[in-house]
Every structure is written in C-alpha cells, then in structure tokens.
Amino acid sequence: MKNTGQGVSVLFLCENGCMVAVEVQHFLGRARDFLKGMDLLQNDLTGYGFSSALLGIHGAISYSDALRIGLGSERVSSDDHRSAVGDLKSLLASRRFEKLQGADRLGKLLSKKSRIAYAAEATREDEINDIVVQAERFAVWAEATGKSLKIEGW
C-alpha cells in the first residue's frame, strides 16, 4: 500500500482531539475542585467569605476555560479573563447554541473578581452569598452546556 500521507493526517487529528479532551478534563477538574472548596467554606461566610467567593469565581473561570478549549479556542489566557466572555459567546454562537445566560453570568462574576481579591473595603456578607449562588448557577449551566454540545472530555 502506498503511503499518501493521509495516515499521518488521521493520526494528527486523533492526537489533537485527544489533547483537547485532556485539556478539557484538566480545566473541569479544577472547576469542580474550586466549587467543592467554595461549598465547604460557604457555611462560615463570616470567617471565610472572601475565600468562598474567590473559589466560586475561579471555578467559573475554569469552567469557562473548559468550554472554550472544548469548543475550539486555541488557547486560554490568565491575563484577561474579561475577554473570555466574548470568546465564549462567539464560540457558542458558532454552534448555534442559544442559551447564553451562563456567559452573561460569567461576566458579572468576573466584574467582581478584583474587588473581592484586592479592595481594602469590606464586602457585605449578602454580596458574598450572591457570588456563591451565581457561581453555583454558572456551574450547573456549564455542566449542562458541555454535555449538550458533546464536548470531548466532558
């Protein structure tokens, strides 16, 4: 049989597909781990409110990274998480996926990240509780979206 080079292409595609699944699983593992930590700490928001809120936000970021990689994004960057919202919406639109409320929720969570992490003023317990609830809702949406779109590695 003559080698036309097609075998290499097939192998290359399989290798890329397998790598995407591994990356998706990597980010999913982080997301789920962050959310477990958030759940453990949310029972004591007075003592661990900032930690719980930040774990929820970082969990949402990791879910977003898993979705974006699984939908074909070339790379994810820790430099500018806000661009993740537009990228996620664009990737979902390319699949004709219409349930974008999760991407909007991600944007709201990301808008609070720097203030929760770095601001000197105290954050109200009700705001921290809201972040936790929004992070949980985003996780439910992301899990359903990954499964619905049959993302490799989900």
CATH of residue 134: 1.20.120.330
Cβ contact 20:153 at 8 Å: yes
Any domain includes 154: no
pLDDT at 5 over 70: no
Domains: count for the chain: 1
pLDDT in tens, 46-102: 889 899 999 999 999 999 999 999 999 987 876 677 789 999 999 999 999 999 999
Any domain includes 1: no
Residue type, 139: A
C-alpha to C-alpha distance for 7 and 16, rounded to whole angstroms: 14
pTM equals 0.86
Any domain includes 93: yes
Specify the 3-state DSSP secondary structure of 148: helix
Confidence of residue 15 (pLDDT cuts 50, 70, 90): low
CB proximity list for 10: less than 8 A, separation 6 or greater = none
pLDDT at 4 over 60: no
C-alpha to C-alpha distance for 53 and 35, rounded to whole angstroms: 10
- What pLDDT sits at residue 12? 44
Any domain includes 29: yes
